[in-house]
Amino acid sequence: MSRSLALGALMAWTFAASAAQGDDAATSHHTPHGFRNTGIGSVNKPLGDLLRWRWQALRDGLPPAPQVPTPVVLPELARLKAYGAAARAGGAAGVAQGPSVTWIGHATALVQSGGLNVLTDPIFSERASPVQFLGPKRAQPPGIALADLPPIDVVVVSHNHYDHLDRLSVVLLDQRGQGRTLFLVPLGNKAWMEDLGVRNVVELDWWQVHVHQGVEFQLVPVQHWSARGLGDRNRTLWGGWAVQADDLHWYFSGDTGYSRDFADTRRQWQARHPGERFDLALLAVGAYEPRWFMQAQHMNPAEAVQAHRDLDAVRSVGIHWGTFELTDEPLDQPPRDLAAARQAAGLEAADFSVLAIGETRWLPARAARQSMP
């Protein structure tokens, strides 16, 4: 086997395998050696399944080339930066234009709400890989270059896979913020950050809350796994994020298979915030084929639609597609499958849609929406 194929197989194993999970709904997600999902049976994939998947993909020429490229638009940089400038100055003008969400690519999004610029799962590197000469390569540049971002107040990280936690991006964001950017991470990831020289880090367990400048960030369960190599499987935690700002309540799934965690999150959220809904959910809709191999760890669009309903979100935006070739579906398949799933569920395009890379969706502020008839 060539060095390229060997490294590719190693990376595929690191990406695709997952650990055995507990089957007792009351079982803690903590184990003597790390973490596990709760409430489901084993989703561990043996090496034989990995090799079968990769052989079938090679034999069948998967993934197919996309029929159309992922749409890209020029970002509204001046308007996005005005929000950050007003928030830093304590003024209301820039804040009044928000909240908003901008898709930068894959699971990286800029959410402006509560006077904060929040970045999700930052990856600005060319490849989602431990090395930059091999591994999944971007289909197009980030929708906003890292150097062109408004000042980032908070970065939320869902887990430590290379397509969600990129070493160079973390270092550059920390340097750019001169240590003022706060990184919120699941348990076990703080030490990795500190090894990079990043000190402004808070790590959370599932259901724990951290409040930053009046905005509440809660790490919530999702069904996934973690690893950056062969010897650290599930040593660090993973999760989604439920965020409460005065003008926007939003949810970020990171990577996840479909599970009861969405309904549990809604129940827990509404118990803490009676009568409140998520105004926006950022839900992964890509990297889902073949289902026999990916279902436990990655939702398909139909499952994402069900997650949207489980969360009782006002609107959802599909992320985690169109950027890196990670699985067997073409890069442009998720929006088509999402449209079909949305129609089957009786939803409108406004209920659950996708953005172009670089596109900003400006959202009604919570107080303004509550005053509408």
Residue 136 in tokens = 């999944």
Q: What is the pLDDT of residue 341?
A: 98
Q: What is the DSSP letter of 147?
A: G
Nearest to 14 by CA among 131, 156, 126, 124: 131
The tokens describing 330, both together, are 């073409």
Beta-strand ranges (E) seen in the chain are 30-31, 34-35, 100-105, 108-113, 116-120, 154-156, 182-186, 201-204, 209-212, 215-220, 240-244, 249-252, 280-284, 316-319, 352-354, 360-362
Backbone angles phi, psi at 75, to 5 degrees: -75, 155
Q: How is the chain split into domains, by residue range?
A: 77-370
Cα dihedral sign, 342-348-353-355: positive
Which element (helix H / strand E) includes 80?
Answer: helix 77-89
The pLDDT of residue 370 = 55
pLDDT given at position 328 = 97
In this structure, which topology does domain 77-370 adopt according to CATH? Metallo-beta-lactamase; Chain A (3.60.15)
Strand partners, 203: 185
Instruction: Please give the single-letter amino acid code of residue 253.
Output: S
Structure pTM?
A: 0.91
For 303, residues 6+ apart whose C-beta sits below 8 A from its C-beta are 257, 258
What's the pLDDT at 123?
98
Torsion of Cα atoms, 22 then 319 then 368 then 312, to 10°: -40
The stretches in the chain having pLDDT less than 50 are 1-27, 91-94, 371-373
Q: Residue 10: its pLDDT value, please?
A: 44
- From the list 353, 280, 355, 285, the residue with the least C-alpha distance to 321 is 285
The angle formed by the CA atoms of residues 292, 296 and 301, to the nearest 5 degrees, is: 85
